[in-house]
Every structure is written in C-alpha cells, then in structure tokens.
Amino acid sequence: MLWRHRPTLVGALVLAAATAQAQPDPETIIRGGDVFVEGGVRAADVRIVGAVITEVGSALEPRDATTRIVDADGLLVLPGGIDPHVHLGAARADDYDSGSRAALAGGITTISNFGGVREGETPAQALQRARPDIEAQSIADVIFHPIVSDPASASADTLEALAAAGQTTIKVFMVRPSFDQAVPGFMATLRAARDTGVLMMLHCEDAAIVQSTAEQFIADGRGSLAHFADARPVAAEVAATQRAVAMAEATGAPIYIVHLSSERALRVTEEAQARGVPVYVETRPIYLHLTRERFDGDTPGLYIGQPPLRTRDDLDALWDGIARGTIHVVATDHVAYTREEKLDPSQNVARHRAGMSNLQVMLPMLFSDGVRSGRISLDRFVEVTSTNPAKLFGLYPRKGVVAVGSDADLVLWDPDETRTIRDEDMFSGSGYSVHAGRVVTGWPTLTMRRGEIVYRDGEIRGEAGSGQLAPRSRWQDPGL
C-alpha cells in the first residue's frame, strides 16, 4: 500500500498478524465503464486493490472468487470530487459526519474545513485541535485550512511547522476589519507562505467599503435583507481583488481567491494571470445557478452568501471563465443552517447568517447546467471539481485523477439519470436545499473512497471515522 500510516508499535503488531495470515488486500474490478483518464474518456475496467488503483485496462481478469465486480455499463467513472471550501462544525448544522454524507451522496470524496487560529496559538496548533473531530466523525477524507486573523501567528517558523504537519494552506479574510489593521503583517505572512510552500486563500471583499455601506443602508432605513446585494457592492470585491493581486505580484507568492462572484473581479484576475501573476480563482455554485432577483422574493434570507448573488451578466461571465480556464475551481463554500435560521427575521445587511448547504447537489447541477447544456466540456467539469483542486492543494497525483497508484476515490456517474432535487433527499443537517424543485440530469450512483464503497443508490455505507486527514505536499506550480 502506497500511503500507509507511519507504523506505531500497535500498528506494527497488527501488520505482523495480518502478514502471518497472508490476507491479501481485497480486490475490486469496476467493469465496462467509460473511464475518465488523463487525456480523455476511454472504455475500460479499473482494478482496485485495497485503497489504490492498480490497473486500468481492457477485460481485466479477477484475481479469484473473492474479487468484487462492480458493473459500470453505461456509466462514467470519474475521479472523486475534491471540495476545498467547506465549513463544518461550530454553530452550524453539519459536522464532519453529516457533511461527509452530503458530500459522498453528491460524488465528493474529499472535503475540507476551516478553523480559526486562536490568540496565542499557531496554525499547526489549530490543526491539532481539529484533528480529533476529523478522525472521529469524517467519512470523506479531509483537508484543513487554519484561518489567520493575526499575521504574527503565521511566520516562516509557524508555517513551516504547519507544512511539516501535512497541511499547506491558510485562509485570510480581507473582509474583516482586522485585516486592514494589519496589512503590513499580512505582507510578511504572504512572503513566509511563499517561502514555506503554503498557499494563502483570500476572501476578497474590502472591509471598509462593506462595513460602511451596510451601516449607511441601515441608517437610511434600507437595512433589510432585500437590499443585501446593493449594500455589499461589486466595487468592494473589485477593490479587494485588485489589492490581493497586487500583493501576489509584489511578493511573487501564489494566492487563491475564494468564491469570486462578479465579472469585474474576474477581469482583474484574468489581467493578472495574463501578466504571469500566480492568481488562482474559485467560484461557487450560487453564482452559477442563482441571480440577485432572489432577494426580491419573500425569502431573501435563504439566499444570503458573501459576496451576494449578482446579475445574469456576472453569471454568464463566470461560466465563460470556467470554459476558458481562468476560473480553476468550483467549490461549494458549504455552510449548513436550517431554513428557520436562514429566515431569522432579526437579520439585516450587516448581521446575518451567510452561506448555504450545497455539498450534495453541486456536482450534479454543474454537470446538468454545464456539461449537458454544452456550456463546459466534461474535461473542464472534472478539472474544476477534482484535478485542479488536487493540484492546487497538494493532493495530486494521489487524488484528482484515475491512474495507477492513485487513491481509489471514484464516482460512478450516470450522465442520463434525471431527478428532481428534494429537501427530503438531503443528507445535510440543514434539512433543505435552496435548489429544491430543480430538475437535474447527471447523478452519482456509487461513490468509492480509498477503495471502500461509501455511497450506493441513495444509501450511505461508510462509517464515521473512516475518513482521514489527507496529507498534502507543499505548493508546486500546478501548470494551470
């Protein structure tokens, strides 16, 4: 096995016992699917031994009578989705267990979480604090991003310790007033990240513009959520995106911009990319499937996310960015609240619950509205949901690709299955989907995480605690 844990004394004894019984790792053959390998789709079988893909080829023979055969006739065999932008735990309706269930039912085999670096703590210590819950609860594999509010906590030494512990990202919120108070420190952190092979993820909205505009809206009697889009203008996203790009350009450090929402901000990143600045861009499903008219309805609270929903032109520009390859990742920014919490009438444009549940339907909706409709190719679909995040987050080629030696994180995908999204089918603790009622074509029928069938035909089969914190390598130019 390629990626076995470091053997402990107990582990060594267990291994010795297993060796004595000469029990081979279980074998599975996925038979007759259209397998997405690098370079395109080909009709092939996939052999999996233990947790790892060992062969992709024609008419593979089973080892013996114990080999499990999975029929994939008429199905795509895709690398499992990798979602680097998920929020779990805290006061939210999903923990690693329910978040995993939603993800696996939606074809995502690696999720993520963010955790704040507390005062007096280092990023590696924030990671250690998160580890017990990940190991106890998760079914999907997990990557973890410490949130840095005080740049002094993220120096070359402490980021070196984080990378040595196997996680290689930090998240910074430009939208928080604490960012503006410490910009010189964040420049030093960005250089430290560059030098230690750690990628900085940035929430790009300008704190001063967002805060003062919201306060003015409230003072003017326009503080209700119906005004959310105007109270949080595109200009705030553009200003912060320009600043983030400039910081990357001045330091040479790569940056990853989370949940980019507007055409104007996209142009800023595209111009930077054309100059050779290492700027990587993520968008999220709400900007690809919903527009700001939702705030005019009876339930604007359901649609609150930061940044807000934008216009139809923005939506079209983001789809084009995916198609052109200037948007590298589509990730959920999954935040699970119940419908009641999202509709809490005490909220306003300054104080509200941002984000929504999306793990279970992101891939099917992207496939349906993107691949089926001809807006993006199947290659792009796999790139932005699996291969690119694997490359950007230090998981490639162990994950993000169907290849010999890679983890058997696989999704059997029925490109023709048409289903309506229904609240009662959702595994998330939020208990509903803002997309309920949508008719979607293209769904996972089976999800495998490291060789184990963890989802099949509507049923979760994996156990809480079977997921792992996925070890990650340091930043390398992904060649995107």
Residue 259 or 449: the one with the smaller Cβ distance to Zn ion is: 259
Q: Which helix or strand (DSSP H or E) is residue 267 part of?
A: helix 263-274
Residue 86 or 105: the one with the smaller Cβ distance to Zn ion is: 86
Site string for Zn ion, 278-317 (x = CB under 5 A): ----------------------------------------
Tell me: does residue 333 bind Zn ion (CB under 5 A). yes
Contact indicator for 83, 331 with CB cutoff of 8 Å: yes
Instruction: Show the tokens assigned to 167.
Output: 């996680």
The two most distant CA atoms of the chain are separated, in Å, by 76
Contact indicator for 148, 169 with CB cutoff of 8 Å: no
Binders of Zn ion among residues 141 to 180 (CB under 5 A) are: none
Contact indicator for 45, 58 with CB cutoff of 8 Å: yes
Residue 223 or 307: the one with the smaller Cβ distance to Zn ion is: 307
Site string for Zn ion, 174-213 (x = CB under 5 A): ----------------------------------------
Stretch that binds Zn ion, among 61-69, 245-253, 332-340, 430-438 (CB under 5 A): 332-340
For residue 88, give every residue at least 6 positions away whose Cβ sits within 8 Å of its Cβ, in sequence order, or none: 94, 95, 96, 99, 111, 113, 334, 336
Output the smallest distance, CB 86 to Zn ion, in A: 8
The residue among 390, 391, 472 whose CA lies nearest residue 3 is 472
Binders of Zn ion among residues 70 to 129 (CB under 5 A) are: none
Stretch that binds Zn ion, among 120-128, 243-251, 331-339, 341-349 (CB under 5 A): 331-339
Contact indicator for 95, 87 with CB cutoff of 8 Å: no
Name the amino acid, one letter, at 155: S
Question: By CB under 5 A, how many residues form the interface with Zn ion?
Answer: 1
Output the smallest distance, CB 332 to Zn ion, in A: 9
Residue 98 or 306: the one with the smaller Cβ distance to Zn ion is: 306
3-state SS of the chain: helix, strand, coil percent to 5? 35, 20, 40
Stretch that binds Zn ion, among 28-36, 315-323, 330-338, 407-415 (CB under 5 A): 330-338
The residue among 330, 410, 314 whose CA lies nearest residue 363 is 330
* Residue closest to Zn ion (Cβ): 333
Output the smallest distance, CB 85 to Zn ion, in A: 6
The residues of the shown chain that bind Zn ion, judged by CB under 5 A, are: 333
